[in-house]
Amino acid sequence: MLVIEAKLKGSQNQYKVLDEMILTGQFIRNSCLRYWIDNKNVKRNDLQKLCAVLAKDNNFPWAKKLNSQARQASADRAWQSINRFYQNCKLNKPGKKGYPKFKKFTRSVEYKTSGYKLSPDRKTIEFKDGFKAGKFELWTSRDLVWYSEQQINRVRVIRRADGYYCQFLVDIERKESHNFQGDSVGIDLGLNAFYTDSNGKAINNPKYLRNSEKRLKKLQRRVSRRHKKGKTQSNNYHKARIQLAKKHLQISRQREDHAIKTARALIQSNDLVVYEDLKIANLVKNHHLAKSISDASWHQFTKWLEYYAKLHGIVCVAVPPHFTSQECSNCGRTVKKSLSIRTHKCLHCGYIADRDHNAARNILAKGMEMLGVIFNSTEGHSETGDKIPNATGEFDRWIDNSNIVNVSHLNECRIINDENPAS
């Protein structure tokens, strides 16, 4: 699947109609959730039938204006949250199970295969349901003319702080070529450096939120001054609120752009990537580091790592992070150190390295050990269902010795790294 996003250009009246479409989708979704709460043994098909009932109800004339498949998509959203709650209960997930909640500030509505019409040159889109939003220009760097209408499964209209956008879900198989050379790397995620790899290379942490805090505080003060408690808000208040929202949107886009480019470069230059399987939800409970951890966006980075690993057909392994900073990557002995100590000094073998570099070497060793267990048990060939936990990619390419990248080559790379601790 491929998601292509384009900005919608239209008049202010058209934007107001888009807001009505989004609110109607929110109404359908909340109505389905209320129906599930009030009745027992409700299934997905029951919510689909409820959409037709709401459209025929004279008390809700706006529901009929929304395209029938868009109403069904809103019901699917309600069922997704219900089904997720069921799964969490079935798996006995610790903590809150995610009981479905009513939405108040929905920002998108989704169409399936009807209710809209793309122009032959794919430069405009027209929404043709009861709301009659009209034609919008599509501003995008990607050319939609290469994809047929049959390949576009869904169209999603999204409202953001800087305007309205349209996302196209294109049914196409994406695959990237990769030059396999047997390179493997382990990365240690951090706050001083965004990550440090097992070769000693460190990527700077951009700290987008920290660098924009001064501007954010100024915009937030402006919003607070113009807010009138218990009264209708002025136009100046809404202008200030939108400026603050745009700044937050800019920061989130900077984080995503950095995560995408860094992950893609790392995958393109290596054949095996091993990283820590960090529990971000637990880490942010430390209120001294929560803002910095959220600003680093480690979770987003690891998700893009897994995505590009699948595209390039390489293996990406997530290993437990326990004791990766405390163990010596040269001799394997434990060297206890606090978080403030940034240099690893082994009292047993004399190995000295940066704390994060030492951890990255341990992470790579753990990943190679996980792969080695599979290799040794299968004698170089994979068996059905014999997969590595928390790993993505094509394992057969690694396990089959006939491929360019094989086990012996990787073991040689590991030995080279161990023989040269300073590398």
Section 145-149 average pLDDT: 86
Q: Are 29 and 106 in contact (CB under 8 A)?
A: yes
Return d(Cα 285, Cα 289) in angstroms, integer.
Answer: 8
Residue 385, pLDDT score:
38
Q: Which tens digit of pLDDT belongs to each residue from 48-103?
A: 999 999 999 989 999 999 999 999 999 999 999 999 999 999 999 888 899 999 99
Using DSSP's 3-state secondary structure scheme, residue 332 falls into coil
Return d(Cα 51, Cα 115) in angstroms, integer.
Answer: 16
Provide the pLDDT confidence category of residue 265 given band limits of 50, 70 and 90. very high
67's tokens = 């395209």
Residue 373, pLDDT score:
59
Parallel, antiparallel, or unpaired for β 134-139 and 2-9? antiparallel
385's tokens = 């269902």
Return d(Cα 108, Cα 70) in angstroms, integer.
Answer: 11
Domain spans of the chain, in order of start: 2-170, 184-204+255-419
114, 237, 244, 336, 400 from 231: Cα distances, Å:
42, 12, 21, 58, 70
For the chain, give the mean pLDDT.
86
Q: Which stretch of DSSP H or E encloses residue 64? A: helix 61-65
Q: How many Cα atoms sit within 13 Å of 63 on the Cβ side?
A: 22
Q: Which tens digit of pLDDT belongs to each residue from 391-419?
A: 565 544 443 333 333 333 343 333 223 33
Q: Which residues pair with 334 in a beta bridge?
A: 327
Poorest-pLDDT segment among 59-73, 244-258, 289-303, 315-329: 315-329
Residue 261, pLDDT score:
96
Q: How many CB atoms lie within 10 A of CB 254?
A: 16
Section 260-276 average pLDDT: 93
Outline where 227-354 has alpha helix (H).
235-268, 280-283, 290-296, 298-312
Q: Which tens digit of pLDDT belongs to each residue from 13-45?
A: 999 999 999 999 999 999 999 999 999 999 999
Amino acid at 153: N
273's tokens = 């990537």
Residue 138, pLDDT score:
94
**Phi then psi dihedrals of residue 335, to 5 deg:** -125, 100
Q: At what angle do helices 68-90 and 44-56 cross, to 10 degrees?
A: 150
Q: Are 366 and 349 in contact (CB under 8 A)?
A: no
Residue 378, pLDDT score:
46
Return d(Cα 22, Cα 41) in angstroms, integer.
Answer: 29
Give helix then strand counts, H and E, for the chain.
12, 15
